[in-house]
Structure 1
Amino acid sequence: MGRWPGWRGGWIDRGLSLLADSVLALPALLMVLMMGVILPSTPLAFWAGLAAVQWIEFFRLTRSVARSQLASPAVEAATLQGFGPLWVFRRILWPEIGPMLRTATAFGVANAIAAIAALGFVSVGMRAPTPELGLMMVELLPSWREAPFALLQPVAACFALLLSLNLIAGGRE
C-alpha cells in the first residue's frame, strides 16, 4: 500500500500519511476493544481491530523504501529505457521491499497473536466455545495445583508459536 503513495507523492501521499498519523493517535488496545464492541464475540472483530492498527507499520515501511528506491538511478535508467511500472516494481522495488515485508509480517502476526492471547487472558477476548490460547490459560488457571501440566500446554503452545514467528522474522535470506 505504501508503494503507491511513495510513487505518486502529492496529495495522495499526504492524505494517506495523515490517515496513518490519525490512526496512530488512538491506542492500539482501544481500537481493538472498539472493534470488539462493534462486532461482538466474533474473531473477526479482534483481527479487524489489530489490522486497523498494524497496517500503518507496513504502510510506513513500504513508503519509505519505495521513495528512496524510486529516486535511485536504477529506476531512472529503467524508465528511460521504456520499462513500465510493473517491471520496475518486480525488478527493482520488490527485491528491496520483499524481505523487509516478510520480516515485518512475521513480527506483526506474532504481535497480533500475543495481543489476542493477552486479551483472552484478561477475559476481554473470545468467548467460551471459541478456542483461543489466552482463554485456555484462564480456564485452566484454577486447577494449576492439581494439573500443572494441563496449564503448561497452552502456555507452551503460545511460546512455541511466538518463538517460531520471531525466528522466522529474524532469519536470513
Structure 2
Amino acid sequence: MEAQTYAADATDDGLFQLSRSEHAEAAEREYADYSYGREILNRFLANRGATVSIVIIALVVVVALIAPAVSPYTYYDTNSAQANLPPRVPGLEQIGICTGYRGGQDAYAMAGAKDDYHLFGTDNLGRDIWTRVWSGTRISLAIALVAVVVDVIVGVVYGLVSGYFGGKVDLVMQRITEVLSSIPQLVIVTLMIVVLKPGLGNIVIALFITGWIDMSRIVRAQVLKLKNQEFVLAARTLGVGSRDIIFHEILPNSLAQIIVTFMFSVPNAIFLEAFLAFVGLGIPAPTASLGVLINDGYKAATIFPYQVLIPVVVLALLMLGFNLFGDGLRDAIDPERS
C-alpha cells in the first residue's frame, strides 16, 4: 500500500512519465537513420587531434598546389647576385620580423633587389626557397601517394589470396614475404636506387618493392578471421565462387583496417623518400623534393639556418598531420582499441 502511494506521488511530481508509443517510434526512427558511417564520422570529429590533422593536411596541400602557380619565381631559375638572401615578408617587416636584414644591413639592397620579396629567402644559387619548398612538397606527396597506392593494390590482393586459399598456396606466399622482410627495407631501397640511378619513377619502384608486405599481412589476418564466419559459409553453401566471396564478402569487411593501414603508410613513404633524398639518392637537380631541400640546406645550416629549418618544419607538419589522422581514424573505426 505504501509502495503504491509512493509511485502515485512520484508520478504526480513529474519524476516518472508513462511511456507512449510515439516515443518508441521516434527512438526507432532515430536509430534507423544513424548509420555506421555517420557513427565513425562523429567519433572521428570528436577527436581533437584528428580535426587538427585535417586542418594541417588541408593547409599544406592547398598551399603546395597554389603557391608555385602564383609565385613570380620558379623553382629552377638561378640568380647568383641574390644568393643566400634571408626571408623577407611584406607586412611583417614593418614590425621587425623577416625584414631581410643580415648583420644589421639590408641584404636585399646590397644585392640590388630592394623591391623583391623572398618569403623563405634564397639558397646558394639565388633560387627562391618559398617556390622550391612547395614544389618539393608536391613531389614528395606525389611520390608517397603513388607508391602507397601501388602497395595497397599489391598488398591487398596478395593478402586476400594467401589468407583465403591457405594450405600450400599460403605456405609458399608467406615464405616469400618472410625472405623479403628479413632484409632491411633501407638496404633494399638503397641498392635499388643505386642500380636504377636516381629518378622520380625509380624512387617509386624502390619504395614499392617491400612496402606492400605489411599491408598483405594485415589483410591476410583479416581474411583468416572472416573466412570461417557464418555469412562466408552461407555464401559458399549457396555455390558462390571464390572470387565473388573474396571481393564481395571478405574485402568489404576488411576495408576499415585497409584504410587505417593506408593512412599510416603515407607518412612512412614520405619519410623514406626524404631520407633517400637527404643521403643523395633523391631526384636529380633542378627538381627538388623536401629531402633534397633538407640536404641542400644542411650544408649551410650553421650560417643560414633558415635554409634547412623551413623544409624540416614542412616535413614535420606532414608527418604529424598524417599520423594524427591515422590515429583518429583507427580510434573511430575500432574504439575498443583506443
> TM-score normalised by the shorter chain: which range applies?
0.7 to 0.9
Give the Cα separation in 2 of the matches to 1:7 and 1:54: 22
Which residue pairs with 2:290 in the alignment?
133
Contact 1:38 1:45 in 2 (8 A): no
User: Quick one: which of 50, 66, 71 aligns to 2:228?
Assistant: 71
Which structure has the higher relative contact order (CA within 8 Å, separation 6+)? 2
- Give 5+ residue unaligned stretches, structure 2: 1-157, 334-338
More displaced stretch, 121-130 vs 35-44: 121-130
Which residue pairs with 2:216 in the alignment?
59
Q: Which amino acid aligns with 2:280?
A: S
Which residue pairs with 1:123 in the alignment?
280
- After TM superposition, the structure 1 = structure 2 runs for residues 41-56 of structure 1, keeping only pairs within 5 Å, are 41-56=198-213
CA positional deviation for 1:108? 1.6
Calculate the aligned-residue CA RMSD, in Å: 2.1
Larger Rg: 2
Which residue pairs with 1:2 in the alignment?
159
User: Quick one: which of 106, 109, 116 aligns to 2:266?
Assistant: 109
Contact 2:164 2:246 in 1 (8 A): no
User: Quick one: which of 156, 164, 168 aligns to 2:313?
Assistant: 156
Q: Deviations over 1:20-56 (max 9, x none)?
A: 0110121111100111122102122232222111211
DSSP 3-state at the match of 1:2:
helix
More displaced stretch, 145-154 vs 127-136: 145-154
Q: Deviations over 1:81-134 (max 9, x none)?
A: 344445534553234311111111121221111011112222233332231111
- Give 5+ residue unaligned stretches, structure 1: none
Give the Cα separation in 2 of the matches to 1:141 and 1:37: 22
Change (3 A) 1:141 1:38: closer
Percent identity among equivalent residues? 26
CA positional deviation for 1:140? 1.8
Report whether the alignment pairs 1:92 with 2:242: no
Contact 1:75 1:92 in 2 (8 A): yes
Contact 1:32 1:45 in 2 (8 A): no
User: Quick one: which of 238, 254, 262 aligns to 1:81?
Assistant: 238
Contact 1:106 1:169 in 2 (8 A): yes
DSSP 3-state at the match of 2:198:
coil
Give the Cα separation in 2 of the matches to 1:96 and 1:134: 37
What is the TM-score with the length of structure 2 in the denominator? 0.47
Which residue pairs with 2:155 in the alignment?
none
Aligned length: 173
Contact 2:199 2:282 in 1 (8 A): no
Change (3 A) 1:63 1:122: same
